[in-house]
Structure 1
Amino acid sequence: MVPIDINCDMGESFGNWNMGNDEAVMPYITSANIAGGYHAGDPHVMRETVALAAEHDVGVGIHPGLPDKMGFGRRTMAASPEEVRDYVVYQLGALRAFADQHDVTFQHVKPHGAMYSMLSESSEHSRAVMEGILDVDDNLIYLATDMNIYEVTEEYDDLRAVFEGYVDLDYRSDRSLIVEQEKVAPDPELVADRFVSIATEGEVEAATGEMIDVPADSICIHGDSPNAVELLEAIHNRVEEHDIELVPLDDIA
């Protein structure tokens, strides 16, 4: 059996604003990246999302962002490596308390939006965040969204890291993602084909038609896709016939 994780960004509602479809998506995933209150989320949503993960035996991780709710953490900000490290540690600590309260495995860290871009572009920022994570708990897993960040994780012998792939977005030939301005509903069978290809072969077809290496052990599905549940159902329908086992990150790294 080939073990692979399905992760999803969750808990991104706050106040009277709703984002995603967490209740419908949670039964189909194995790891939840939960917003820590900076780019999205609030204490009540964090608690509710952790409780939902506990109900479905889903591993929990922090999805930290820059302090920018108005811009959903997607706007560029000036921040030193030390400041970004503190942003991550702060949000990690808040979510971990809820995980402890609900006896849920707190397993990973996956930065969001402009913070992720900052870490991808600056190894100095990446190292500061990784060292901050290790100072808190050297058993935590860093979920690396691109190869630039993944290569920095390899500098640390004591940092567990997993490379992440995408199947509901198109890749360019250089392995960068094509992110459309407006959410569209991807073809479920195409998404399931990509999932099987990455899980079993470590490669996927780029938008140009060429096959590119995506050596991922975790696949992200966007919970705010218009047909996220349909995509996940199509993936689950392929799992057994291809000897794929869905497991949380903590069972992979």
Structure 2
Amino acid sequence: MKLNCDMGESFGQWKMGNDAAVMPWVDMANIACGFHASDPDHMSETVMLAKAHQVDVGAHPGYDDKEGFGRRSIPHSHQAIANLVAYQVGALSAISQYHGVEVSYVKPHGALYNDMMADEGIFTAIVESVSKLNLNRKTPLKLMILARVDNTAYSALASKYQVELLFEAFADRAYDEQGLLVARSLPGSVYHDSTRIRQQVAEFSAGYVTTISGTKLKLRADSICVHGDNDESIAVVKTLHGDLHP
């Protein structure tokens, strides 16, 4: 099972995260593409950092909303969603090509990610965009989505468009009885204790997760999202890397 992390989210003089400290301990870097965060210089620096550590590069497109860090839902038409994904993936692909690296997957960011998982129409627009981007690629882009108890409908749609899905779980987030993430506004939604985080990752490796109320649910994940925006979380990333790559 691979670790992924959102990266390249600094912008101009504004710094977000600690990519240099985290990159050696992850397998996949979800790199911001300029809409919710980042700029050409930071995108370039992050791609080079990923290349140096042999980390897979993924595009991390979001709504065009730097002020809200892409965490606010913005209504779009079907075609507008497809266009904004294509635009951002294209930007990162060009910078990656410049450095001799290939983008291998797409993981939407923030509100776009949440909207995709809540609205089949938005998911379809994103899958359609990825599918069309794959027409001229030797190695097709994959699409990363939230691992849920039942992703049958989304898997069928992705198969229709010949897009391979990667299922993602979250190391430090609590899950509810439906196998969905507990809203950040609720108490206990985010885990800060390293022991609890390690326990949850071990559960993912075994194919299940314990909900916030104690129920065990089957859950299959290909990748686990970790965060590295402070010293404590960086230490956890190192530990999880050791757990998953002994």
TM-score by length of 2: 0.89
C-alpha distance in 1, partners of 2:144/2:111? 16
- Could you tell me whether the CA contact under 8 Å between 1:9 and 1:33 is conserved in 2? yes
The range that moved more, 86-95 or 174-183, is: 174-183
Change (3 A) 1:141 1:179: same
Q: 1:169 matched to which residue of 2? A: 173
Mapping of 1:7-18 within 5 angstroms?
7-18=4-15
Q: Which runs of 4+ in 1 moved over 3 A?
A: 146-151, 179-185
The letter of the residue matching 2:62 is: G
Match 2:214 to one of 205, 209, 218: 209
Q: 1:186 matched to which residue of 2? A: 192
Task: Provide the aligned length of Structure 1 versus Structure 2.
Answer: 237
More contact order relative to length (CA 8 Å, sep ≥ 6): 1
The 3-state SS of whatever aligns with 2:157 is coil
C-alpha distance in 1, partners of 2:25/2:19? 10
Match 1:24 to one of 18, 21, 24: 21
Q: Which runs of 5+ in 1 are unaligned?
A: 242-253
Q: Percent identity of the aligned residues?
A: 36
The 3-state SS of whatever aligns with 2:158 is coil
The letter of the residue matching 1:173 is: E
The 3-state SS of whatever aligns with 1:93 is helix
The range that moved more, 219-228 or 35-44, is: 219-228
Match 1:156 to one of 155, 158, 162: 158
Q: Give 1:117 shift.
A: 2.1
- Could you tell me whether the CA contact under 8 Å between 1:120 and 1:146 is conserved in 2? no
Mapping of 1:73-152 within 5 angstroms?
73-137=70-134, 139-147=140-148, 151-152=153-154
Change (3 A) 1:240 1:122: closer
- Could you tell me whether the CA contact under 8 Å between 2:174 and 2:190 is conserved in 1? no
The letter of the residue matching 1:163 is: F
Q: Give 1:226 shift.
A: 5.3
- Could you tell me whether the CA contact under 8 Å between 1:25 and 1:228 is conserved in 2? no
TM-score by length of 1: 0.87
Q: Which runs of 5+ in 2 are unaligned?
A: none
Change (3 A) 1:136 1:25: same
